[in-house]
A and B are shown apart, each in its own frame.
Chain A
C-alpha cells in the first residue's frame, strides 16, 4: 500500500516534469525540470533497494552532468535564444516514430502478460542484492573486470582528448 503510493508519487513526478522539461521555452526551466525527473527516477531506484544506483544517479547525473548543463546554459544569452527556432519542424516523422515506439512498448507489455515464456523476468529477491554496494563491487571487480577496465580506459581516453582539444595552442619556438 505505502509502497505503491510512493512509487506512483515518484513516477508521476518523473513523467510530469519530463513533459514540462520538453515544453518549457526557457532553457534554465527545462534544466530544472530535467533535474526533478532525474531525482524522481533516483527515488524509484531507492525504492527498489538499489542504493548504489540511486546515489550514483544523484552524484553523477544531478550533481555532475546537470551542473555543467546549467553552467553552460547560464553563459548563453537566453533572450536571443528565445527568438530563434527551438524545435525541429519535422512533425510527420516525429509522429510516426513516437507511434511506433508507443506500439512497441504496449505490445511488449501485453505480450508479457499473455504469452507463456515471454514474460518479464522474475524480480530478483531483495536480499540477493544486499548489501548493495558490496554486491555491485564484487560483480564489477570480479566477474566483469575486463569490460569494466575497458570502459574506464575508454573514458580516460575521452577525457585526455578533451583536455588536449581545450588546451591553448602554443607556437613552436
Chain B
C-alpha cells in the first residue's frame, strides 16, 4: 500500500465521526430549512386566522418538497448586463458561509464537526458574517437599482448590528470565561444556571441584533417588498434564488444555535444538576410520543386515503423516534447514550423555540424605517451593549475580589444598565422632538 493511501486511511480512522456529521449537516440543513419555511407559513396563517398551505400532503406537510422541485426545474435566468462570474458566485458564497459556520457548532455533546476549536464562538461569528459578501456581490452583479439599494442597505445594517451582537456576546463570554463552545456549556452546567438569567440584557440585545443580521422582519429592509421588489435577490430566479433562501434560513439556525449555546444552556436539560428533577429526562420521549399520537388522531379526518396513510406514517415515525429517545432511560449499559441523544433533542428544541420567537416578532411588528433602524442600532443598542459589558465585568470583580453574592452583584448591575437604557431612550425622544420641531420636511425616509 502506498504511503499516501495509508495516510488517507489513518486520516479517515481518526476523523470518520466528524466527516459523517458534516455530511449529515450539509445534507439535512436544506430539508430543515424547507420545513422551517413551512412552519413559518403555517404560523403566519395561524396568526392571521387562515389555514396556510393545505394542498400538498396532509396539512401541507409535503409543501417544501414540492417547492424545492419547482425551484429546481425553473428557468435559470441571468440578466444580460449582469456580471456573469460574480452573479454565479454570490449565492454560493452566501450559503457556503452559513454551512461552514455550522461546522463549529455543537448540536449536542457528541454531534459536531470541528473538535473543540479554541476560538469556537468567534469562528461561528466571523464565518457566518462572510455571508454578507453573497448579498453585496449579488446585489452589485445584478446591475439593477433595486438590487444595489438592497445590497447597500444590507451592508450598512449588518456592519452596525454586528457590533451590538458582538458586544452582547462578550458579556456572555465573560461569564463563561472561555470561547470554546463545549466549555461554555460546561460552565453553565457547573454554575447551575443558564446565562440568560445572569445577563438578560445581553440576551435581549443579541436577539434584536440577530434579527437584524439575518435580514428578517421587522428589520428586513434589504428585501422590503413594498419598496425594493425583493432587494438584492430581485434578479435571481430558480436554483440560485433557492441558494440565497437556504443561506438565509441556515443563518437563522446559526444565530439560534449561538444564542442557545451561550444563553440558553446548550444541550443541557432544564435544571441539569438537580437530582430530584431527574424525571425531566422522561420529557423528550413523551413529547415526541404526544406529537405522534396527535398526528394519528388527525389521520381519520384526512379527505384522501393517501393522506390518511401519510399521517399514520408521520405518527409511527414519531413513535420510533420516541423509542430511540427512551432507550437510554432504561437501566443498563445503554445509559451512556443519554447525554448524546437527549442533548441533541434539547438543543434542537431550544433552537426551534428561538426561531419561533423570530417568526412571532415578524408577524407582530411592522417594518422599521431605515433611519429608525440606524438610530436604534447606533444610539441605543451599541451604547447599551457597552454599558452592559462594563456592568457584567464589574459584577464579576465584585464577586471575585470583594466576595459579594453573585446574584446581588448581577441584579444591581443589571438595574444600573436598565437605568442607562431609560436614559438613552429619553435622549432619543428628545432628539426626535428637536428634529421634528426644527425641520419637519427634511427627513429623507428612504435614504440609504
In contact, A52 and B133 (Cβ under 8 angstroms): no
Q: Mark B1-42, 1 if CB is under 8 A from A, else 0.
A: 001100100010000000000000000000000000000000
Does B263 touch A at the CB level, under 8 Å? no
Instruction: Indicate which residue in B11, B129, B141 contacts A63 across the interface (CB closer than 8 Å).
Output: B129
Residues of A within 8 A of B179 (CB): 133
Residue of A nearest to B90 (CB): A32
Given A59-B125, A63-B129, A67-B159, do A32 and B136 touch, yes or no (CB 8 Å)?
no
Q: B130 and A63: CB pair below 8 A?
A: yes
In the complex, what residue of chain A is closest to B158 when comparing beta carbons?
A: A67
Quick check: A74 and B130 within 8 Å, CB to CB? no
Contact with B along A67-88 (1 / 0, CB 8 A): 1101100110000000000000
Interface assignment of B228: CB less than 8 Å from any CB of chain A: no
Would you call B140 and A74 a contact (CB within 8 A)? yes
Cross-chain contact of A67 among B118, B119, B140, B155 (Cβ < 8 A): B155
Within 8 Å CB of B139, what residues of A?
A: 74
- Asked whether A133 and B89 contact (CB < 8 A) given A58-B126, A63-B130, the answer is no
Q: What's the minimum C-beta distance from A169 to chain B, rounded to whole angstroms? A: 16
Given the known A-B contacts A59-B126, A59-B129, A63-B132, are A133 and B119 also in contact in the complex, defined by CB atoms under 8 Å? yes
Contact (Cβ within 8 A) A70 B130: no
Main secondary structure of the interface of A (DSSP, over half): helix
A-side interface residues, number (CB < 8 Å):
27
- Distance from A77 Cβ to chain B, minimum over Cβ atoms (Å): 12
Q: Is the CB of A58 within 8 A of B4?
A: no
A1-B4, A32-B137 known; A131+B118 contact, CB < 8 A: yes
Contact A130 B83 (CB under 8 A): no
Within 8 Å by CB of B7, from A2, A28, A132, lies A2
Known: A59-B122, A67-B136, A132-B119. 20 other contacts (CB 8 A): A1-B3, A28-B137, A32-B89, A32-B137, A51-B118, A52-B118, A55-B119, A55-B126, A58-B127, A63-B129, A63-B130, A63-B162, A64-B159, A67-B132, A67-B155, A68-B159, A70-B136, A70-B137, A70-B155, A74-B152
Of the A-B pairs whose beta carbons lie under 8 Å apart in the complex, a sample of 6, sorted by A's number, is: A29-B85, A51-B118, A55-B122, A67-B159, A74-B148, A131-B118
